Amino acid sequence: MELELKYGCNPNQKPAKVFAENGALPFEVLNGRPGYINLLDALNGWQLVRELREATNLPAAASFKHVSPAGAAVAESLDDVLKKIYFAEDVELSAQATAYIRARGADRMSSYGDFAILSDECDEPTAAYLKREVSDGVIAPSYSPKALEILKSKRGGNYLVLKMNSDYEPPTVERKQVFGVTFEQKRNDVKISDECLADVPTRNKNFTPEARRDLLTALITLKYTQSNSVCYAKGGQAIGIGAGQQSRVHCTRLAGNKADFWFLRQCPKVLELPFKRGVKRPDRDNAIDVYLGGETFEETWENLFTVKPAPFTADEKISWLKNLRGVSLASDAFFPFGDNIERAHLSGVDFIAQTGGSIRDDNVIETCDKYNIAMAFTHIRLFHH
C-alpha cells in the first residue's frame, strides 16, 4: 500500500510517496493531505510518546518540528503560573490535554507550526486547545467524535489528522537511502527504564522519584532527537532541548539557555508585562523572547504594550535563576569534559543521566561531586539520525 504526498522535503521534490513493503500503512489519514516532513515528525514522535507512556504510566505528548521534538511531557498537573505562561488559564484540562500543553509550552517559539503527537485518545479538551494554536497536524491512536469534528474545522478544513495503529510493530531491520546508497541497520529498540539509572559513580546517589521520572522523560526524548543532543527536564516535561549540534557543550549551552528562558518566563516581572488587549499569542511569545534576550522595543513597544516595559537586567535574571533547582539533565552520549556540568549547574541541574565511558569520566564525576549532583551512567548511547 502506498500514499502519494504533496511533495518531498521541498516543493520541487516531486513526485513523493510513502509505502509499506508488506501490508498496510500503520496510520490512516482522517483529514488533510500529509507532506514528507509531516510524516517524519509523526512517526518519530509516535515512537517517543508510546515509550514515554509505557515508562511512566502517564499520558504523554510531544511537539515535533523538523524531525526533532521541541518539547515532550507527561500528564502532570499544571499550577497557576504554568497555566498562565502556557496560555491555558481558560481551557478545560484533561490528562491528554495537560500533557500536550506542557510539551508545547516549554518552548513555544520552536513549537510554532508543530506536529502534535498524542499517546492516548485525542479528546475534546485537547482538540480545542490545538484548534487555537498554530499547528500543522496531529497523530493519535484514536479521536472522540467531538474532537475529530473540531480538528476537521481547523485551517479551513485542511488540518492534517492521522490515526495511528497502536498495535503496529515495525520490522527489526530498517533501511534508508542516501545518494543512491541503501543503509541498513537493526532498529534502535533499546528499552529506557529505571534500570538505566542503576550505576551511580558520584558521591550523591539519591535520585528522588520526581528526578527518576524526569530523567526517563529526558532520555526517551533524546532517543528521537537529532544528535548530538541534550535535554533538561523538570515536572515531567522537557524544559530545554539542544538538538543537532556538533559539540556536546554547545548542546548543553543551547538547551540550558532554553531551560533558563522557560524559568525566566515565570518571573513576576515577565508575568506582569503590560500587554495590550488583543495582542495575539504568537506575538506575545515573540515579544517575551525578545524581552528575555535583552533587546529593546524602541520602535514597536506601542503596538504591544500599554507602557514601555522596564529592562530585565542581567542582575535581575541571575537573581531569579538562583531559584531554579531540582532540574534533571540527560545526554545522548557521554560528556567528554566537566565544562558541561559547570554549565548545567547554572540552570539548576541536580540530577544527570549520561552514557559514561569518556577517558575523562573522572573529571566529570569530580565536577558533579563539587556541586553535589547525582549522576548515573546509563551505558546506552542514543544517537539518532
State pLDDT tens for residues 30-75: 999 999 999 999 999 999 999 999 999 999 999 999 999 999 999 9
pLDDT score at 284:
94
Residue 8 sits in a domain of what CATH number?
Answer: 3.40.140.20
Contacts of 246 (CB under 8 A, 6+ apart): 228
Gap between the Cα atoms of 291 and 316, Å rounded? 13
Residues 113 and 18 placed together within one structural domain of the fold: yes
Judgement on whether residues 211 and 344 belong to the same structural domain of the protein: yes
Q: Is 349 inside any structural domain?
A: yes
pLDDT recorded at residue 297? 77
Per-residue pLDDT tens over the stretch 3-28: 999 999 999 999 999 999 888 999 99
- Angle CA 256–190–224, to nearest 5: 40
Report if residue 46 sits inside a domain: yes
- If one counts the domains in the chain, the total is 3
**Residue 199: pLDDT over 90:** yes
Q: Is residue 80 part of a domain?
A: yes
The answer to whether position 316 is within a domain reads no
What one-letter code names the amino acid at 147?
A
**Residues facing residue 143 across a β-bridge:** 122
8 Å CB contact between 133 and 155: no
3-state secondary structure of 292: helix
353 and 303, same structural domain? no
307, 210: one domain:
no
C-alpha cell at position 174: 530498517
Asked if the model's pLDDT at residue 113 lies above 80, the reply is yes
- Mean pLDDT across 142-152: 98
- Are 49 and 157 members of one domain? yes
Q: What local confidence, expressed as pLDDT, does residue 177 receive?
A: 92
Q: Is residue 182 part of a domain?
A: no
Could you report the per-residue pLDDT of 219-261, keeping only the tens digit for each? Answer: 999 999 999 999 999 999 999 999 999 999 999 999 999 999 9
Strand pairing report for 60-65 and 68-74: antiparallel
Q: Which residues are catalytic?
A: 65-66, 228, 385
Please tell me the distance from the alpha carbon of residue 299 to that of residue 301, in angstroms, as a whole number.
6
Residues 238 and 297 in one domain: no
108, 130, 164 - which closes a domain:
164
CB 102 within 8 A of CB 253: no
Write out the three cell numbers for 96: 491528554
Domain match, 336 and 205 both:
yes
Indicate whether 170 belongs to any domain. no
First CA to last CA distance, the chain: 26
Q: Is the pLDDT of residue 295 over 90?
A: no
Number of H helices, E strands in the chain: 14, 15
Q: Does 210 lie in the same domain as 124?
A: no
pLDDT value at position 294?
A: 84
Which cell is 283 given?
A: 506575538
CA gap 212, 205 in Å, rounded: 12
Is the residue at 130 inside a domain?
yes
Same domain, 214 and 259: yes
The label of the residue with cell 513523493 reads 16
User: How confident is residue 1, by pLDDT bands cut at 50, 70 and 90?
Assistant: confident
What pLDDT shows up at residue 73? Answer: 98
In DSSP terms, which residues pair with 138 in a beta bridge? 116, 161
d(CA 70, CA 44): 13
Instruction: Write out the residue range of the structural domain in which residue 129 sits.
Output: 2-164
Q: Classify residue 104 by burial, with Cβ atoms within 10 Å: 0-12, 13-18, 19+.
A: buried
Per-residue confidence (pLDDT) for residue 261, from 0 to 100: 97
The CA distance from 278 to 99, in Å, is: 27
Residue pLDDT, tens place only, 70-84: 999 999 999 999 999
Q: Are residues 275 and 341 in the same domain?
A: no
The answer to whether 368 and 353 have CB atoms below 8 angstroms apart is: no
Checking if the pLDDT of 296 tops 90, the result is: no
- Cell numbers linked to 281: 499569542
Alpha-helical regions (H) of 106-171? 108-111, 124-132, 145-152
249 shares a domain with 355: yes
- Give domain status of residue 91, yes or no: yes
Task: Say yes or no: 201 and 155 in one domain.
Answer: no
